[in-house]
Chain A
Amino acid sequence: MPAASTAISVSGLSKRYLLGQHAAVQGFRHLVEDTLKAPVRWLRGGQGKPRAAGAEFWALRDVSFEIAQGEVVGIVGRNGAGKSTLLKILSRITEPTQGRIGIRGRIASLLEVGTGFHPELTGRENIFLNGAILGMTRAEVRSRLDEIIAFAGVEKFLDTPVKRYSSGMYVRLAFAVAAHLEPEILVVDEVLAVGDAEFQKKCLGKMREVTAGGRTVLFVSHNLPAVAALCDRAIYLKNGHLEAMGQTAPILQRYKDDAALAVEATATPAHRRGSGTHRIATLTPLATEQPARAPLGFCAQIRQHAEDGPFHLSLHLRDEWDSEITALNTEYLERGALAPGDQEVRITLNTPWLPPGDYRVEAFLHSGGIIDHWPDACLFRVGSDVATLGYTHSSAHNAGLVLADFRLETTPLQK
């Protein structure tokens, strides 16, 4: 392990959030009440009983690790595993509840590109504004201005307010400023998930350049191939705990295996959240391995457990990186509401065509509130036989979230 010296040392880090009944956000009445009651409490010689605390939630629990200078470390974990909380603490946006972190060197975080961009200001003005927000001095920004502009490719629109930019230009400009920060430690969250494919490549290239320069990088992403390509080591967070840390490839494998196992956990309806008046007993894809171009079908058996009114069924299709591709919600349909009672429901998806890969279905029953939430209702795979779609180019299934039905017609123009 190349450990020159430690850049980040995290020990016993925990972060607690109070859910719901947070005293601090309950409103002004409590401030007045607490202030008026303070002397009484003081006379009684005690702190008094604290306001009834709501449920608490540990976003991070006793996380410890060390990162050496010059290391590039990926952080993976499902949504809600504590990745974002860890980054927020590292970037000093929020404080930990327990534990501490030691940091050597200047740290800069990119939790979102374009933070503080003002739509009314011009591209040039926003470069300076955003640079200052990210911690650059005006002199630093000025010395890199040409590079930033060239990287973003917005030379012609520098003096146009950014509200007139296309969303692509906007993101490119924002990333360009961020990419030219030069801190010793860089914390990056999902910035690669923006822009078109070409720009993403450029971003990856820039990240490689940064990491090659011996800088320490912490990289959070759902894009596992990008993590695999960039990172020396990886950290796997699960429910706020540090599940594993080590060489990237085995950690990523373990994360993928766990995702498959997690499906088992919520198979029992009683363990799921929601009011429970109805529960999805089973959800099965009509075929666990679908050819690439065929309607997808799902069959749900729903059982009634208590009196309730009509409700809706909603299936969310997620890819291997947990991105939601589409949602099949009966609410979107005319007369889509399901009548109460035991029943079997079939849903068919004709378009879009999903690219080859493994998918997960997250299922909900809802009517205003959540009745049943089954995060891993079923898995299915779309086979790699893209040729049936008319695609012959092997890279076709990497171009975008879904595959398209498109045709070609050419007519020679008259001279």
Chain B
Amino acid sequence: MRPDPDAAPPPEKNPAEPFDLWIEAGHAERHYWRDLWRYRELFIILAWRDIAVRYKQAVAGVAWALLQPLATMFVLLFIGWISGLSATEGAPYAIVVFSALLPWQFFANGLTTASQSIVGNANMISKVYFPRLIIPASSIAVALVDFAISVGILGGLMAWYQFWPGWRLLALPLLTLLAIVAALGGGLFITALTVRYRDFRFIIPFIIQFGMYLSPVLFTSAQVREKVGEAWFQLYCLNPMVCVIDGFRWAVLGGEATFLTPATFISLAVAVGLLFGGIAYFRKTERSFADII
């Protein structure tokens, strides 16, 4: 059973002997990103698991994925009809709001599921090694599926109003990427914080509820700027979702909708900063996840 004793002479004691892997205290792993790439299949399979499991043993099954955004759409149609509200952007109210609701819902879903993801997979965390970033990232991927369904419904809504988008719609994939940046950045922060401080379980619903009213979802950012003036508007743009939502409106509504004013660059910078900050904070804390979870 043992290897042949004559096969090789005993090796020289050489401290510089090359090992494939070093495990050391406080040693941020050099191969983190390589490992992340190596575990890409795990990322895909975890996202698939969460989607596959979600509607099992539900009679209506996948229909639930459609029902929620559809219900939202009807509520919006109803509000638009009752209040006679018409947005300034030269498009029906329902489309103005729905185009903003898309990225917002994605952000909110991503944040909620990501924050629970590590705690929900605690037994994996404490038994197996893999780059922990995969878990919140895969829950963002799941939120992206819901997002895709909602995009379909927006398409239906636009067809109903016979509202034809222009060339700007081609920017949608790029803007979706921006939404992912914001959701992943915020998600990583919240996830790492939730592992340490379960208080964030109660803070997140709060952030999401108030965030929707603070972000230009039910109104447009142009309306905000008109009311508060340029200086305060810059402060308002500290909300990273402002640039994402404005971008979506700009692409979907065309016409008068504006995007990438100097102030929205603040919001853009915050979103990108959130991603890098989120990754840095997550990596700093993930090493101790197994100890504190």
Interface membership of B61, Cβ < 8 A: no
The segment from A100-108, A252-260, A298-306, A338-346 that touches chain B is A100-108
Return the CB mask of A73-93 against B: 1 if under 8 Å, else 0: 000000000000000111111
Q: Does B168 contact A (CB under 8 A)?
A: no
Question: Is A100 a contact partner of B292 (Cβ separation < 8 A)?
Answer: no
Contact between chains at B290 and A6 (CB < 8 Å): no
Chain B residues near A22: list those with CB within 8 A: 292
Cβ contact within 8 Å between A128 and B45: yes
Contact of A27 with B199 at beta-carbon distance under 8 Å, contacts A1-B10, A93-B290, A101-B22 already known: yes
Interface residues of B (CB under 8 A from A): 1-5, 7-8, 10-11, 17-27, 39, 41-42, 45-46, 49, 52-53, 56-57, 121, 123-130, 193, 196-197, 199-200, 287-288, 290-292
The reply to whether the CB of A356 lies closer than 8 angstroms to some CB of chain B is: no
Interchain residue pairs with CB less than 8 A apart (30): A2-B7, A6-B11, A24-B196, A25-B292, A27-B197, A70-B2, A72-B1, A93-B128, A95-B287, A95-B288, A99-B24, A100-B25, A101-B22, A101-B23, A102-B21, A103-B21, A104-B19, A106-B20, A107-B21, A112-B127, A116-B121, A116-B123, A121-B49, A129-B45, A132-B41, A133-B42, A138-B41, A138-B45, A212-B1, A232-B1
Distance (whole angstroms) from the CB of A127 to the closest CB of chain B: 11
The B-contacting residues of A in range 134-174, CB under 8 angstroms, are 134-135, 137-138, 161
Give chain B residues whose Cβ lies under 8 Å from the Cβ of A70.
2-3
- Given the interface pairs A3-B11, A9-B19, the reply to whether A91 lies near B3 with Cβ below 8 Å is no
Q: How far is the CA of A143 from the CA of B209 in the complex (A)?
A: 48
The CA-CA distance from A211 to B1 in the complex, in Å, is 7
- B23 and A95 within 8 A (CB): yes
Q: How far is the CA of A132 from the CA of B5 in the complex (A)?
A: 36
Interface size class of A (residues with CB under 8 A): 35 or more
* Cβ 8 A contact of B52, one of A92, A101, A121, A137: A121
Cβ distance A376 to chain B, nearest Cβ, rounded Å: 30
CB neighbours (8 Å) of A27 from chain B are: 197, 199
- Measured between beta carbons, the chain B residues less than 8 angstroms from A211 are 1
User: Which residues of the partner chain A approach B292 to less than 8 Å between Cβ atoms?
Assistant: 22, 24-25
Pair B21/A2 contact, Cβ less than 8 Å: no
Contact check, B128 vs A111: say whether CB atoms are below 8 A apart.
yes
Choose one: A94, A101, A109, A214; the contact of B128 (CB below 8 Å). A109
Selected contact of A120 from candidates B3, B53, B129, CB within 8 Å: B53
- The CB with the most chain A CB atoms within 10 A, among B1, B17, B23, B288, is that of B23
* A95 with B10, Cβ < 8 A, contacts A2-B2, A132-B41 known: no
Asked whether any CB of chain B lies closer than 8 Å to the CB of A96, the reply is: yes
A128 to B19, CA, bound (A): 30
| Residue A125 CB within 8 A of the other chain | yes
B42 partner, pick from A69, A132, A214, beta carbons under 8 A: A132
- Complex Cα distance A212/B53, Å? 40
Indicate if the CB atoms of B53 and A118 lie closer than 8 Å.
yes
**Interface residue? A388 (CB, 8 A):** no
Say yes or no: is A115 at the interface (Cβ < 8 Å to chain B). Answer: yes
A69 proximity list for chain B (CB < 8 A) = 3
Tell me the complex Cα distance, A134–B129, Å: 8
Residues of B within 8 A of A95 (CB): 23-27, 287-288
Name the A residues within 8 Å of B3 (CB-CB). 2, 4, 69-70, 214
Bound-complex Cα distance A25 to B11 (A)? 46
Once bound together, how far apart are the Cα atoms of A9 and B87, in whole Å? Answer: 68
For A93, the chain B residues whose CB sits under 8 A away are: 125-129, 290
The answer to whether B1 touches A103 (Cβ under 8 A) is no
